[in-house]
Structure 1
Amino acid sequence: MNIYDIAKEAGVSPSTVSRVLNNRDNVKKGTREKVLQVIEGKAYKPNLLARSLSVGVSRNIAFLAPDIENPFFSKILHGISDCAIEKDYNVFMFGTDENTEREHKILENLKPEMMMGLIITPVSERDENTVEWLKRFEQQGIPIVLVDRDIRGCKFDGVFSNDEESACEAVECLIEEGHKKIGVITGPETSKPGHDRCAGYKRALKKHNIEINENYIVRGGFKEEGAYRAMKALMEQKEPPTAVFSCNNMTTLGCLRYMQEKGMKLTRDISMVCFDEIKELEYTDIHLTSVARPIYEMGYEAMHILEKRYEDKEKRGSDRYIIRRHIVNPYLVKRGSEKYLQF
Structure 2
Amino acid sequence: MSVTISHIAKVAGVSKTTVSRVLNENGYVKEETKEKILKVIKELNYTPSAIARSLSTNKTNTIGVIVPDIMNPFFGEVIKGISEEADSHNLNIILFDTDDNIKKELKALKLLREQRIQGIIITPTSVEDEFNSEYLSALESLGIPVVLVEGHVKYSNFSGVFMDNIKGAYQGTEALIKAGHKNIGIITGRMKTQSAKDRFIGYKKALAFHGLNLKEQYVFYGDYRQEGGYKFTKEMLKMEERPTAIFACSNLMTLGCIKAIYEEGLKIPEDIAVIGFDNLDMVNIIGMNISYINGPAREIGVRSMKILIDSLSNKAHKEIKKITLMPKLVLKGSEKYPKAKTKKGAK
TM-score by length of 1: 0.86
Q: Which protein has the larger Cα radius of gyration, Structure 1 or Structure 2?
A: 2
Give the 5 Å matches for 1:108-123.
108-123=110-125
Relative to structure 1, the CA distance from residue 250 to residue 48 in structure 2 (aligned partners, 3 Å threshold; closer, same or farther) is farther
Partner of 1:224: 226
SS of 1:110 mapped into structure 2: helix
Name the stretch that deviates more: 46-55 or 100-109. 46-55
Identity of aligned residues (%): 33
Relative to structure 1, the CA distance from residue 95 to residue 10 in structure 2 (aligned partners, 3 Å threshold; closer, same or farther) is closer
Name the stretch that deviates more: 97-106 or 60-69. 97-106
Q: Does residue 1:280 correspond to 2:278, yes or no?
A: no
Q: What residue ranges of structure 2 are gaps of 5+ in the alignment?
A: 342-347
Decide which of 130, 134, 143 is 2:135's aligned counterpart. 130
Relative to structure 1, the CA distance from residue 260 to residue 242 in structure 2 (aligned partners, 3 Å threshold; closer, same or farther) is same
Relative to structure 1, the CA distance from residue 270 to residue 10 in structure 2 (aligned partners, 3 Å threshold; closer, same or farther) is same
Partner of 2:24: 18
Q: Deviations over 1:153-198 (max 9, x none)?
A: 3221111111101110110000111111001100111111111111
Deviation of the 1:14 alpha carbon: 6.7
Relative to structure 1, the CA distance from residue 33 to residue 278 in structure 2 (aligned partners, 3 Å threshold; closer, same or farther) is farther
* More helix per residue: 1
Deviation of the 1:232 alpha carbon: 1.5
Letter in 2 for 1:198: F
Partner of 1:89: 91
Q: CA RMSD in A?
A: 2.8
Partner of 1:190: 192
Task: Give the distance between the partners of 1:110 and 1:148, measured in 2 at CA.
Answer: 21
Give the 5 Å matches for 1:58-207.
58-124=60-126, 125-127=128-130, 128=132, 129-137=134-142, 141-207=143-209
Task: Give the distance between the partners of 2:200 and 2:114, measured in 1 at CA.
Answer: 37
Deviation of the 1:305 alpha carbon: 1.3
Is this contact kept in 1: 2:254–2:276, CA < 8 A? yes
Task: Give the distance between the partners of 1:48 and 1:299, measured in 2 at CA.
Answer: 29
Is this contact kept in 1: 2:145–2:308, CA < 8 A? yes
Deviation of the 1:199 alpha carbon: 0.7
Relative to structure 1, the CA distance from residue 16 to residue 327 in structure 2 (aligned partners, 3 Å threshold; closer, same or farther) is farther
Deviation of the 1:104 alpha carbon: 2.5
Relative to structure 1, the CA distance from residue 338 to residue 18 in structure 2 (aligned partners, 3 Å threshold; closer, same or farther) is same
TM-score by length of 2: 0.85
Task: Give the distance between the partners of 2:337 and 2:240, measured in 1 at CA.
Answer: 20
Deviation of the 1:18 alpha carbon: 3.4
Q: Does residue 1:340 correspond to 2:337, yes or no?
A: yes
| Paired positions, count | 326
Letter in 1 for 2:273: S
Is this contact kept in 1: 2:184–2:244, CA < 8 A? yes
Task: Give the distance between the partners of 1:308 and 1:32, measured in 2 at CA.
Answer: 30
Is this contact kept in 2: 1:220–1:229, CA < 8 A? no
Deviation of the 1:109 alpha carbon: 3.6
Task: Give the distance between the partners of 1:222 and 1:161, measured in 2 at CA.
Answer: 16
Decide which of 320, 323, 342 is 1:323's aligned counterpart. 320
SS of 1:43 mapped into structure 2: helix
Q: What residue ranges of structure 1 are gaps of 5+ in the alignment?
A: 21-26
Q: Does residue 1:37 correspond to 2:35, yes or no?
A: yes
Task: Give the distance between the partners of 1:35 and 1:191, measured in 2 at CA.
Answer: 57
Name the stretch that deviates more: 240-249 or 226-235. 226-235
